Amino acid sequence: MRIAVGADHAGYELKAEILSLLEELGHSYRDFGAHKKDPGDDYPDFGAPVARAVAKGEFDLGILICGTGVGMCILANKVRGIRAALCHDTFSARSSREDDDANILCLGARVMGVELAKEIVKTWLSATFSGADRYQRRVKKVMGLEERPA
C-alpha cells in the first residue's frame, strides 16, 4: 500500500515511530514532513499536501498527526474526496475503514501513547471498506455534501 504521512511539530516524534512501523509492515510511504521539530510549523503546511495527494490518487491512504489530531482532521476533511477520521482507539479505527471508507487516519500525539498509536495504525491499515449497501449509501450521501468549486 502507498501511504502519505504528515505531521506538525507536535506530531514529529510520533510520526517517526509510525514511519518505522510502516517499514516493518512492508508499506511504501512518503514523508511530507515536518522534517524537524520546529514549534513555528503549522499543521496545514503538512496536512494539506497529504490530503491533496490522497484525493488525487497518488497514494492509497494517508496518516496525519498533530497534537490532538483535531486540527489535521478538520483540515483534511476540507479537501474534496477526503474522508478523514480522528481515532483514539482500535474500534473506531476499524469502523472508520469498514463502515465509512476513511482514507486518512488522524492521530493526536499528545493524547495517546506510542504503542496505542501503533495498534491503531495496524488496525486501520488492515481493515477495508465492507462495501455493504447501507455503508455505500451513507458514504455516497456524505460525499454528495461536498460543494463544487466556484
- Which cell goes with 74? 478538520
Q: Which of 66, 73, 87, 106 is catalytic?
A: 66
Type of residue at 24: E
DSSP 76: H
- Which cell goes with 16? 517517526
List Cβ neighbours of 79 (8 Å cut-off, separation of 6 or more). Answer: 48, 51, 52, 55
Indicate if 87 belongs to the active site.
Answer: no
Peptide bond into 16 cis (omega under 30): no
Active site residues: 66
